[in-house]
Structure 1
């Protein structure tokens, strides 16, 4: 049986992964930073109960998923004031290199599949448990999302406007 690593080490080793997952689900900004903090606060409370041989990274990604979901639900309940409602969306600047915005524009299932599998390191089966469906459908959603991102960046590199 292996001994559990110190909590500070878990933050050091997995903090960047958790932040990438939060930013992918919520977008770059204060909400993702808050979800990251909430993830580690919750993890600290439950750290003594975690099994010594647990997959700490996968466990932290699951906690981050739940905290990100809490933020998403809170966003849905908040009113967003606007002085003027635009007639149409602002044009997208091509080639700006803003990967977070491109990821945020993906359909939710693709975005979550990418977040939990590629950034969080969860297997497709565990990702399916989080977002619903089965491993095959999650694998397809992640592949479609990556394909859309590649197409978007290829178009940006060629100077065209494209949406994922």
Structure 2
């Protein structure tokens, strides 16, 4: 089996990787997450056993890098000038739909980002997440339902990240 040169893969799919990283990690961390995803892909590329669905393979790596970044960010201390005397409540959502998507459970968040950020089919999402096509549809549906509930919209109203 012959793999295309890695640079050809980068040239063909860098926008998709950037979109998924921006959707999952947010605009502030997207570049770092995308860079991490490309480094992981470069390291794993020589060991690939087939060249089927390289785009899906890359987007899976990007989604995993974003998930790792999300977990790391939750563990990082936040610098403050002075410690508060009492517990601080969570800030109110700012209405940014992708920020709300990033607050969803991990698999729903990834499924929505792959569906609407990278325009993948449910078959490709299922391959990226290692689940069935029906589960992919369910994750997207549940994520949209959660967003509708949070936004207070009716089920027939379209909500797209």
| TM-score, length basis structure 1 | 0.66
Instruction: Give 2:7's aligned residue.
Output: 8
Q: Between Structure 1 and Structure 2, how many residues are aligned?
A: 148
Evaluate the alpha carbon distance shift between residue 154 and residue 29 of structure 1 in structure 2; reply closer, same or farther with a 3 A threshold: same
Question: Structure 1 stretches (4+) deviating beyond 4 angstroms?
Answer: 83-94, 147-155
Superposed, which structure 2 residues align to 1:19-58 within 5 Å? Answer: 19-30=18-29, 32-51=30-49, 53-58=51-56
CA distance in 1, matches of 2:106, 2:51: 32
In the alignment, the residues of structure 1 paired with residue 64 and residue 94 of structure 2 have an alpha-carbon distance, to the nearest angstrom, of: 32
* Unmatched tracts of structure 1, length 5 or more: 156-163
> Is the alpha carbon distance of 1:44 and 1:93 closer, same or farther for their aligned partners in structure 2, counting shifts above 3 Å?
closer
Q: Assess if the C-alpha contact under 8 Å between 1:117 and 1:127 holds in 2.
A: no
1:67-106 → structure 2 map (5 Å cutoff): 67-82=65-80, 83=82, 84=84, 88-92=89-93, 98-106=96-104
Q: Tell me how large the CA RMSD over aligned residues is.
A: 3.4
Matched, 1:126 2:127: yes
Q: Which runs of 5+ in 2 are unaligned?
A: 155-160
Which secondary structure state, in structure 2, belongs to the residue aligned with residue 15 of structure 1? helix
- Per the alignment, in what secondary structure is the counterpart of residue 79 of structure 1? coil
Distance 1:114 1:154, change over 3 A: same
CA 1:128 to 1:63, structure 2 compared with 1: closer, same or farther past 3 Å?
closer
Shift of 1:60: 0.7
TM superposition shift of 1:149: 5.3
| Structure 1 residues 28 and 153: alpha-carbon distance in aligned structure 2, compared to 1, 3 A threshold | farther
Q: Give the C-alpha shift of residue 33 in structure 1.
A: 1.4
Q: 1:127 to 1:47 in 2, by over 3 A?
A: closer
Answer whether contact 2:93 2:100 (CA < 8 A) is retained: no
Mapped partners of 1:70, 1:105: distance in 2: 14
SS class of match (1:126): helix
TM-score (ref. length: structure 2): 0.67
Name the CA distance, whole Å, in 2 between partners of 1:15 and 1:54. Answer: 18
